[in-house]
Structure 1
Amino acid sequence: MFERLKIAAVVTALVATAAYAVFASTASPAANEPAALQNGAPAPDFTGIDTWINSPPLDLKQLRGKVVLVEFWTFDCINCAHTVPYMKAWYSRYRDRGLVVVGVHTPELPIERNTDNLKKAIARFGIEYPVAQDNSYATWNAYSNQYWPALYLIDKNGKLAYSHFGEGDYDQTEQTIRGLLGLDGKKG
């Protein structure tokens, strides 16, 4: 009996791994995509967005004159979950000073494609800033992005000013936000 359960568990794991490999090969961007964006390059607009949550649809032209922080994330990613408190704090601290935060939710797993699941995760995390659901990877590909989480800061003229991939460098990111907003001195 124990051997049958062990075999069933192995078979289940193999099937799940194979299914994920097939999904990942079709859902992820192609290996021959263009090089990552460089600082000073015009930032790509939000494109192919399925649903906007916490906001009407946004575009970078209407956000000119603001500093925009775009974060590529997905709700079942532990590294992304670790960045949420920083994103929320920056949104709270600087939104009245000209910062717009947009979470571009680009799914890694099939359950993350479901809008209801995304809305539940946004409520669970307490996210109030705009979230764009990028199930087709259109905005992800426009940025030539390859990472969860990935942060892109866009200056008031619509140009990429800073990017960071993965967790960490929160102080540097915040100092860059403050610099782009023209805020000197200590946080506050």
Structure 2
Amino acid sequence: MFSAIRNAAACAGLAACAAIAPAHAVTPAAPVVAPEFAGIDTWLNSEPLTLAQLRGKVVLVDFWTFACGNCVSTLPAVRSWHAKYRDKGLVVVGVHTPEFPFERDAGNVRRAIERFGITYPVALDNGYATWAAYGNQYWPAFYLIDKHGRVAYTHVGEGDYAQTEAAIEKLLAER
């Protein structure tokens, strides 16, 4: 039953994500202070995190949901960045914001992160509080936060992985 729902939702999610998330990247003219994680009641793969405690590191906030095909397509790149740069100061935080009711279930998310091989922290944003704090409107969406806690780069949708990785490297090289 779950696999039938998951497959139907993945197709619906793929269409919905593709329709609302055109790929584009933005480097803000003047970086703004990144909003703190809000309304997160469950953390997977980690104790609760705050951006304040991550100051001095580069943080990739990845808004995703497990039944969105576009989100799933970005995971190999996100896992790769986590593996390649975590010892150089990058912290990846997946903010799982559900599109469908069954994506709110922590057990379903836990099984999905196991299936996708996600080992970085995942925050469950079931109430859309962090989503709203960032003014986010898309799945998937990346927000790169510099060592001073400012949003320095955003990317919406799939693709431009080399550009995003270059932004990660640039931010890691900054003091």
TM-score (norm 2): 0.82
Q: Which has the larger radius of gyration?
A: 1
CA distance in 1, matches of 2:65, 2:135: 17
Structure 1 gap ranges (5+): 1-19, 21-36, 184-188
Taking only aligned residues, the RMSD between alpha carbons, in angstroms, comes to: 1.5
Partner in structure 2 of residue 79 of structure 1: 70
Residue 50 of structure 1 and its aligned partner are, at CA, apart by: 1.9
1:47-66 → structure 2 map (5 Å cutoff): 47-66=38-57
1:181 to 166, 172, 175: 172
Higher strand share: 2
Quick check: 1:158 aligned with 2:153? no
For structure 2, the 5+ residue unaligned runs are: 1-11, 13-26
Where do 1:136-147 residues align within 5 Å?
Answer: 136-147=127-138
| Identity between Structure 1 and Structure 2 (%) | 64
- Give distance in 1, aligned partners of 2:96 and 2:60: 13
> What is the distance in 2 between the residues matched to 1:60 and 1:50?
16
AA matched with 1:145:
N
Between the aligned partners of 1:84 and 1:172, the Cα distance in structure 2 is 16
- Structure 1 runs, 4 residues or longer, greater than 4 Å off: none
Structure 1 CA distance for aligned equivalents of residues 51 and 164 of structure 2: 20
d(CA) in 2 for partners of 1:50 and 1:73? 17
Q: How many residues align?
A: 148
- Structure with larger RCO (C-alpha < 8 A, sep 6+): 2
